[in-house]
Amino acid sequence: RQLGVEVRSELNNDRFPLIVDAKKLRGGKTRLSANKSSQFLTSLLMIAPVTQLGIEIELEGNLISKPYIDITISVMRAFGADVINEDYHSFKVYGSQTYKPRNYQIEPDASNASYFFALAAVTGGRVRLENLSLNSVQGDIHFVNILQQMGCQVISKNRAIEVVGTERLTGVDVDMSEISDTSLTLAAIAPFAEGKTTIRNIEHIRWQETDRIHAVVTELRKLGVSVTEYDDAIEIEPVSEIQPAEIDTYHDHRMAMSFSLIGIKKPGIKIKNPGCVNKTFPTFFDVLAGLDQQATYEI
């Protein structure tokens, strides 16, 4: 509406379903809150170049998941559009630009790779992922830095990353605001570390596919893990023995993939509604089932 779009709610309550009258989007100035999801900002940035006037976006409050905005801008520039980023507080995109077609190679998904890197960590195994490097624009690639803090060996060369597990993982205290999609991965392996693990500044994951903080805490407690829940953080204590349990996944693909790591480490774990992984990784359990825990994994 700030940009002149005619949009109304069918029930007159400013909620879905919404009706948008299709007219040319001239552009202009707008203010936006992106403190719960960066996707709102991404959507405006991507359409801005093809508006007549361009769009100036001023953010209200803090921007979460900055690496995803870096990805957005990187892809836009790769296809011929430019963005002026003023320290993640405001953005300016000139109008009447043209996206240019080109060949573009998409990297492997660093978020989904985190499960296999964590698998190496929790089993003392070895995982090698091709065509991905530590220089990736994807912020979630830095999950391997956390595994390194926990005692794993990380090897990066020839456009591949290899994680070698350790006999003893060490608990960590980490700010995961920029790589929050992998916070569930860390939460799943934290009970097997020596010492407490604290995951901080992740309040925004309460508004994703489910309230991920509460979901992780609830399911870990089913397993006999001592967990403390805060508004924006989780503290996880190591546990001597995992209790068998059925894990609710809350229709959340990352809950299913993360807790499957516990099932690899300890028997008696049942993942309910495993089909929810179809959102981002339909073959996840097939790939997992095909891995030999004594081999080098090449995903």
Cα 291 to Cα 72: distance, rounded to the nearest angstrom? 33
pLDDT digit string, tens, across residues 119-174: 999 999 999 999 999 999 999 999 999 999 999 999 998 899 999 999 999 999 99
pLDDT higher than 50, residue 202: yes
298 has pLDDT over 90: no
Active site residue 70: no
Report DSSP state, residue 170: B
Average pLDDT score over residue span 37-42: 94
Q: How many C-beta atoms surround the C-beta of residue 293 within 10 A?
A: 12
Provide the strand spans (E) within the chain: 7-9, 18-20, 28-33, 55-60, 84-86, 90-93, 126-130, 153-157, 160-164, 173-175, 197-200, 227-229, 234-236, 245-247, 269-271, 296-298
SS3 95: coil
Measured CA to CA, the distance from residue 33 to residue 45 in angstroms comes to 14
- pLDDT the model gives residue 25: 86
Looking at residue 299, its pLDDT comes to 38
Most distant CA pair in the chain, distance: 62
- Provide the percentage of residues in the chain whose pLDDT is more than 70: 97
Per-residue pLDDT of 239-291, as tens digits, reads: 999 999 999 999 999 999 999 999 999 999 999 999 999 999 999 999 998 88
Q: What is the pTM of this model?
A: 0.89
Q: Average of pLDDT values for 53-79?
A: 94
pLDDT of residue 24: 80
CA distance 130 to 285: 20
**pLDDT (tens digit per residue) in 3-26:** 989 999 999 999 999 999 978 889
* From 70, 87, 109, 181, active-site residue: 181
